[in-house]
Amino acid sequence: MAATPGCSGVSCFGGVGGPWPQGMRVGLLDSTLREGEQTPGVSFTVEQKLEIARLLDEIGVAMIEAGHPSVAPDVREAVRRIIGLKRDGVIRRAEIIAHSRAVRGDIEEAASLGPDRVAIFYGVSDVHLRYKHRRSREEALSIIGEMVEYARQHGVRVRFTAEDATRADYGFLVEVVRTARDAGADRVSIADTVGVATPYGLRRLIEGLRRDAPGVEFDIHAHNDLGMAVANSLAAAEAGASIIHVTVGGLGERAGIAPLEAVAVAIKRHYGVDVVDLRGVVRLARLVERYSGVPITPLAPVVGENVFTHKAGVHVAGVLSNPETYEAFPPEWVGRSRDYTIDKYTGRRALRARLERLGVSVSDEELAEILRRIKERSDARWLRDEDLLEIAEEVTGRALRLRPPEHIEALVTVRCDSNVYTTSVARRLSLIPGVEEVIEVTGENDILLRLRARNPVELNRVVEAIRSVRGVQSTYTMLVLRKLGSGDTGAGEKNAISS
């Protein structure tokens, strides 16, 4: 295979399922509220669904599959209220979809809520027809046509989902698509229901269906049972599928479907198309993680904790020179930043960069000794900044860590009455036991005090004594949490406790 002239790397040889497409028109349908809630152990409240739907619209998904109203009363209520958000202008862009079986009662209930679209599904593979529906192919075509037409009579747009399409006979699948189209469906979703498709096969399938059953738009709904959901979704988009079904974090039945965050970044990375505002995907992922109870693995693409954290010394040195050496896309795309671990794999360059970030300067000899001691701790998975500073202190003999004070210490700002002499007030304050230092300052306040006490009761007595001094109008007290070095009198961190 000849490479494309003027390019470099594997991208010269084409996209996911074949040659690069000339252009791509694609959007995302998020099914977190429908497919995502089919994840074992996941059940969102109505309010949680509303919050997720608002954020999905905020980042710019093209469609939101709000749920299957006939499943349960709370699902129906969530779908109703999400449709209400669209009607009231809270959800501004996303098309709201209600899910339905190919059953009149389901269709009536879904359409009665006033969604932008009803999505009707029916299994079309021989295994589904024989063991689930117990229908012949001819009977299935009749049901599909009748139910799509029935939904259209209710004044809503219709998407037909060909469930298990990737295991269906191709000739029959073409008939299914034509039947749904002729009955009034303007979209047909090709579902890789058990995740067995390959990118090459899916691209050829979508290309064939667009050729043999024109006049309808195609979605791709790719399950992740073999880890192929993202690749299969991209291959279908390369072939002309204009909507990719995703869920936040890849939630869904069994191994889930294509994760929104990975698909969105891949489309930008490979095709230069912004399908959502990527800066919002991390916040969205964290929200769904909290509500679903399904933790984000550190290795999860785009949103996992480790995605922009580098370990090996050679890798870190490369990233410090040019992040493109070991990053597929910049973390700024998704509002993140890069980092690297300190452990036995760390090199000199990474160590010096981390120390400088902590405000610590060391000689070459000290750096070498710190690195040697780090590598001796081979049982440590990684060293925290506190651990690193401890080693650096041992090597340099300098106090580098912020230390909590042995006694309770506080800083108190004092505002004086406008008709008193500030210096006279300062002198009276300096006589109070526990007041270590008195400083007259400029600004909104007039005096800064540094206090020391043995316990909270004693500290409170000192503060009350300060407030009782004639000429003191108001005070604001801040506890000293840590200080840099044993002799430093400044506050490293403060916590306000009274005013």
Which residues are designated catalytic? Answer: 315
Q: How far apart are CA 348 and CA 379, in angstroms?
A: 20
* DSSP code for 100: E
Q: How far apart are CA 235 and CA 17, in angstroms?
A: 5
**DSSP assignment of 231-273:** HHHHHHHHTT--EEEEBGGG-SSTT-B-BHHHHHHHHHHHH--
Evaluate whether 273 touches 238 at the Cβ level (below 8 Å): no
Q: How far apart are CA 91 and CA 26, in angstroms?
A: 20
Q: How far apart are CA 187 and CA 28, in angstroms?
A: 14
Helix pair angle (229-238, 260-271), 10° resolution: 40
Task: Classify strands 243-246 and 117-123 as parallel, antiparallel or unpaired.
Answer: unpaired
Q: How far apart are CA 120 and CA 99, in angstroms?
A: 6
Quick one: 255 exposed, middle or buried, by C-beta within 10 A (0-12, 13-18, 19+)? middle
Q: How far apart are CA 313 and CA 328, in angstroms?
A: 18
Tell me which residue of 261, 207, 253, 200 sits closest to 244, measured CA to CA. 261
Q: How far apart are CA 499 and CA 493, in angstroms?
A: 18
Evaluate whether 37 touches 48 at the Cβ level (below 8 Å): no
Q: How far apart are CA 314 and CA 311, in angstroms?
A: 9
Tell me which residue of 471, 468, 463, 452 sits closest to 499, measured CA to CA. 463
**Where do we find the tokens 């889930």?**
256
Q: How far apart are CA 125 and CA 170, in angstroms?
A: 10
First and final C-alpha spacing in the chain? 75
Q: How far apart are CA 349 and CA 316, in angstroms?
A: 8
Tell me which residue of 464, 461, 415 sits closest to 440, measured CA to CA. 415
With b for 16 or more beta-carbon neighbours within 10 A and e for fewer, the 175-184 pattern comes to: bbbbbbbebb
